[in-house]
């Protein structure tokens, strides 16, 4: 998540709020379903905090490389990695301009990150660039609800929500945006998370591969 604004709130308060919000039981349950599917050489977008490290399958992972724009969250991820069996390193950077060669990764994992990248389409183009032929994109994201009544309220709330939540958007498409970037999606799911306001709680997950 892009919380790199040079303010006390962005440097110190927002990282703690993000780790708390993104570590709620209902979210962790869904992370546990999608992350173990990652294999080989893995790139994780928005890996700051290291929340996903506990869910990787060590038998399937060669190495995990994370990227995140937040220094505070990068430091948290490195601390978490000291308690993990998963080979892991993380670099500072943004999804729109990643410092990796083409065809570098077997799996790209994105969890609750596409909502806050500055340019969603460019970020997905970069994912396509660094993913190996035959590789897979795994995603778990929240975004635009399919119900018009809920979406109307998402539009109303989003300007204030972005200021409070580090640039997080409520109205971005998820699977549709991935497909528009040249991927074919499979095993997709969509639901409202329980015990969560509907304007915040629509999530989608799935697996995608590059359309040849």
Domain ranges for the chain, please list them.
Answer: 8-210
Give dist(CA 166, CA 21) in Å, integer: 12
Instruction: Read off the pLDDT band of 157 (50, 70, 90).
Output: very high
Among the listed residues 27, 24, 32, 68, the one whose alpha carbon sits nearest the alpha carbon of residue 50: 68
User: Tens digit of pLDDT for each residue in 29-79?
Assistant: 999 999 999 999 999 999 988 999 999 999 999 999 999 998 889 999 999
CATH of 8-210, one of 3.40.1440.10, 3.40.190.10, 3.40.50.150, 3.30.428.10: 3.40.50.150
Polymer length in residues for the chain? 212
The pLDDT assigned to 163 comes to 84
User: Tens digit of pLDDT for each residue in 70-87?
Assistant: 888 999 999 999 999 999
């Amino acid at each position: 998540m892009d919380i790199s604004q040079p303010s006390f709130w962005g440097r110190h308060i927002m990282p703690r709020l993000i780790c708390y919000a993104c570590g709620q039981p209902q979210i962790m349950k869904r992370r546990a379903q999608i992350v173990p599917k990652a294999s080989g050489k893995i790139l994780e977008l928005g890996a700051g905090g290291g929340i996903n490290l506990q869910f990787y399958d060590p038998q399937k992972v060669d190495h995990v490389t994370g990227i995140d724009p937040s220094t505070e969250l990068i430091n948290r991820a490195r601390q978490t990695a000291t308690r993990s069996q998963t080979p892991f390193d993380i670099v500072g950077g943004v999804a729109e301009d990643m410092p990796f060669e083409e065809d570098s990764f077997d799996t790209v994992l994105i969890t609750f990150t596409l909502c806050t990248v500055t340019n969603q389409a460019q970020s997905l183009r970069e994912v396509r660039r660094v993913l190996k032929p035959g590789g897979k994109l795994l995603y778990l994201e929240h975004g635009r609800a399919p119900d018009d009544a809920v979406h109307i309220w998402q539009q109303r709330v989003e300007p204030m929500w972005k200021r409070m939540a580090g640039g997080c958007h409520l109205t971005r498409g998820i699977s549709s945006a991935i497909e528009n970037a040249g991927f074919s999606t499979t095993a997709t799911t969509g639901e409202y998370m329980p015990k969560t306001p509907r304007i915040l709680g629509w999530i989608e997950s799935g697996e995608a591969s590059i359309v040849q």
